[in-house]
A and B are shown apart, each in its own frame.
Chain A
Amino acid sequence: QVQLRESGPGLVRPSETLSLTCTVSGVSININDYYWGWVRQPPGKGLEWIGNVFHSGTSFYNPSLKSRGSMSADTSNNQFSLRLTSVTAADTAVYFCARKVNDAFDVWGQGIMVTVSS
């Protein structure tokens, strides 16, 4: 059974860097069929695609992030990560990690709430 679990701090100060990790179990992130992605959801609002990363490290981002986002894959620990720099209150959201296959996100983590506040 494939499972994803997000981890990281629940509170980040404005202008600092948000760092989250997604630990994958039940499947290797090294499989070429899959990309691994991040999606966020501000409180009471809709879903927003953040970016995807391949096990090689190749990554793609939502242009609305204005180059603040970066993602990486750690195949030895079967994890992938998100870093978002210069955060503001607008980055407060539930952050989901998910597996992408057949151009859709088929398995999701439970989500982690991240609040940006001083």
Chain B
Amino acid sequence: QSAVTQPASVSGSPGQSITISCSGTSSDIGGSDLVSWYQQHPGKAPKLLIFEGTKRPSGVSNRFSGSISDNTASLTISGLQAEDEADYYCCSFAGTDTLWVFGGGTKLTVL
């Protein structure tokens, strides 16, 4: 089964920018732009931040941006704030057999 890989943790100081990667293959991320990103605070449901690789839903801060290059998707958070401390997950279309696969998640710590 397809798997996409995220770093277990990243950290940054308030005001800085950080980037979380989501690495896959030509069978998933590299095969389409169908990557979404989610933010999850402890005990809460995930919240959609980015869809179709680069698009932001209405109401999501423009401090969140997404990109895709080859087989890797990335989420960049600029102007880090304390409230950004959370877990972040990517999700990619992985072909007609596997369909949808989540990355393992990245814990963001705001120092």
Q: Is the CB of B46 within 8 A of A105?
A: yes
Q: For the complex, what is the distance from the CA of A52 to the CA of B93, rounded to whole Å?
A: 13
CB distance from A17 to the nearest CB of B (A): 23
Known: A47-B89, A104-B91. A109 touches B52 (CB 8 A): no
CB distance from B68 to the nearest CB of A (A): 13
Q: Which of A38-62 contact B (CB under 8 A)?
A: 39, 46-49, 52, 60, 62
Asked if A26 lies at the interface with its beta carbon under 8 angstroms from chain B, I say: no
Q: Is the CB of B100 within 8 A of A47?
A: no
Asked if B31 lies at the interface with its beta carbon under 8 angstroms from chain A, I say: no
Q: For the complex, what is the distance from the CA of A81 to the CA of B76, rounded to whole Å?
A: 35
Asked if A117 lies at the interface with its beta carbon under 8 angstroms from chain B, I say: no
CB distance from B46 to the nearest CB of A (A): 6
Q: How many residues of B contact A (CB 8 A)?
A: 25
Q: Which of B85-103 contact A (CB under 8 A)?
A: 89, 91, 93, 97-103
Chain B residue with the shortest CB-CB distance to A46: B105
On chain B, the residues within 8 Å of A60 by CB distance are 99
Q: How many residues of A contact B (CB 8 A)?
A: 20
Q: For the complex, what is the distance from the CA of A103 to the CA of B47, rounded to whole Å?
A: 14
Q: Is the CB of A49 within 8 A of B45?
A: no
Q: Is the CB of A96 within 8 A of B46?
A: yes
CB distance from A11 to the nearest CB of B (A): 20
Q: Is the CB of A64 within 8 A of B1?
A: yes
Q: For the complex, what is the distance from the CA of A109 to the CA of B1, rounded to whole Å?
A: 27
Contact indicator per residue, chain A 92-118, by CB within 8 Å of chain B (1) or not (0): 000010000011111011110000000
Chain B residue with the shortest CB-CB distance to A106: B48
On chain B, the residues within 8 Å of A46 by CB distance are 89, 102-105
Residues in chain A within 8 A of chain B (CB atoms): 39, 46-49, 52, 60, 62-64, 96, 102-106, 108-111
A-B residue pairs, 7 tightest by C-beta: A104-B51, A104-B36, A108-B45, A46-B105, A49-B100, A47-B102, A103-B34
What are 6 A-B contacts defined by CB distance under 8 Å? A39-B102, A47-B105, A62-B99, A63-B1, A109-B45, A111-B45
In addition to A46-B102, A49-B100, 7 A-B residue pairs with Cβ atoms within 8 Å of each other are A47-B102, A49-B91, A49-B102, A62-B99, A64-B1, A105-B38, A105-B46
